[in-house]
């Protein structure tokens, strides 16, 4: 019903409120889910689920960096954009949020760099250092 990743997110309270409530309700009625949660907690506490594991698994449901880029530019179908909006705002995915921040910075940087490049191309291009002496 709920997989381990979801239960881990539940422990960390990083799920949308309605999902948190659904899991709580399910835990009340479902003995096997309680056992599953117990296992998840003990495995987590013994370090089997490293933070890296959690992110790697979690990221499977994250939009790609390309998608985030299109989202940022507003060049995206509504369905997809709504999903990403949900992912960022409701799920509050910190990974995607920082990715998005980074992308928005680098898009800005790219624009600046592109202008500079155009300007300096002729002179700076020839001064590039050689790989080895
Ligand atoms: Zn994400």
What is the full per-residue pLDDT of the chain (133 aa) written as tens digits?
799 889 888 877 788 889 988 988 888 888 888 888 888 877 776 665 555 555 555 555 788 888 999 999 998 888 888 878 877 887 777 889 999 999 999 888 888 888 888 777 666 555 656 555 5
Residue 116 to residues 3, 107, 120, 123, Cα–Cα distance (Å): 50, 14, 6, 12
Whether pTM exceeds 0.85: no
Cα 17 to averaged position of ligand 1 atoms, centre (Å): 17
Residue 50 to residues 2, 6, 17, 43, 119, Cα–Cα distance (Å): 20, 15, 25, 10, 47
Are 27 and 34 spatial neighbours (Cβ–Cβ below 8 Å)?
yes
Q: Residue 127 has what pLDDT?
A: 61
Are 88 and 97 spatial neighbours (Cβ–Cβ below 8 Å)?
yes
Residues with C-beta atoms within 5 A of ion ligand 1: 62, 93, 95-96
Cα 100 to averaged position of ligand 1 atoms, centre (Å): 10
Q: Residue 68 has what pLDDT?
A: 92
Cα 64 to averaged position of ligand 1 atoms, centre (Å): 9
Q: Number of C-alpha atoms within 13 angstroms, CB side, residue 126? A: 2
């Amino acid at each position: 019903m709920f997989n381990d990743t979801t239960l881990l997110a539940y422990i960390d309270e990083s799920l949308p409120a309605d999902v948190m409530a659904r899991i709580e309700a399910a835990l009340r009625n479902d003995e096997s889910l309680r056992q599953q949660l117990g296992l998840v907690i003990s495995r987590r506490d013994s370090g089997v689920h490293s933070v890296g594991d959690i992110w790697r698994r979690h990221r499977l449901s994250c939009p790609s960096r390309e998608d985030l880029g299109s989202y940022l530019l507003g060049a995206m179908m509504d369905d997809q954009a709504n999903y990403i909006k949900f992912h960022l705002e409701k799920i509050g995915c910190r990974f995607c949020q920082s990715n998005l921040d980074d992308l928005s910075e680098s898009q800005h940087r790219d624009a600046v760099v592109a202008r500079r490049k155009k300007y300096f191309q002729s002179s700076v291009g020839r001064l590039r250092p050689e790989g080895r002496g």
